[in-house]
């Protein structure tokens, strides 16, 4: 098992209400970027379905310089309907699913800290302050 000390929250940077399945994200990463697999370890679809991405025993491809020691979790959305303005578009069911994944991961990796992707990259992702929202987990 890898040594995990960071759990990094992402958004897919897709339009509010636009249902993008995990298979599409995987295709973007494998065919579009030439990666061997989807970059995230978990993906929360619009309806709250939790999809497994990369195996957690494998390094992700979601946060440059942090992949070796982190787990990447992404939710579908993160941008207003205009396709460019960052917005916390999580539905209530996505919030519940994300919380479930994070509680499970924190039980597995109790010394890990939850971060927003934008703490490590010049991006709006995940379009909300995950570090603050989940500081008590």
Q: How far apart are CA 83 and CA 11, in angstroms?
A: 13
Average pLDDT over residues 1-29: 94
Nearest to 41 by CA among 69, 67, 71, 2: 71
For 93-112, b where at least 16 C-beta lie within 10 A, e where not — what string? ebbebbeebbeebbeebeeb
Q: What is the mean pLDDT of the chain?
A: 96
| Residue 91, pLDDT score | 97
Q: Which domains does the chain have, with CATH numbers?
A: 6-133 (3.40.80.10)
pTM: 0.95
Which two three-digit tokens encode residue 23? 């298979």
1, pLDDT greater than 90: no
Average pLDDT over residues 126-135: 96
pLDDT by residue (tens digit) across 48-102?
999 999 999 999 999 999 999 999 999 999 999 999 999 999 999 999 999 999 9
Percentage of the chain surpassing pLDDT 70?
99
Which two three-digit tokens encode residue 34? 């030439």
> For residue 122, what is the DSSP state?
S
Residue found by looking up tokens 């959305």 in the block: 77
136, pLDDT greater than 70: yes
Q: How far apart are CA 111 and CA 3, in angstroms?
A: 10
| Residue 2, pLDDT score | 77
């Amino acid at each position: 098992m890898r040594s995990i000390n960071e759990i990094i929250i992402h958004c897919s940077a897709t339009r509010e209400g636009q249902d993008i399945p995990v298979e599409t994200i995987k295709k973007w990463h494998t065919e579009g970027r030439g990666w061997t697999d989807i970059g995230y370890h978990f993906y929360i679809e619009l309806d709250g379905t939790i999809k497994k991405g990369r195996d957690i025993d494998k390094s992700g491809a979601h946060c440059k310089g942090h992949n070796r020691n982190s787990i990447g979790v992404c939710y579908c959305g993160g941008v207003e309907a205009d396709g460019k303005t960052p917005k916390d578009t999580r539905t209530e069911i996505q919030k519940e699913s994300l919380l479930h994944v994070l509680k499970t991961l924190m039980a597995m990796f109790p010394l890990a800290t939850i971060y927003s992707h934008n703490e490590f990259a010049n991006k709006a992702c995940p379009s909300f302050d995950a570090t603050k929202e989940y500081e008590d987990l």
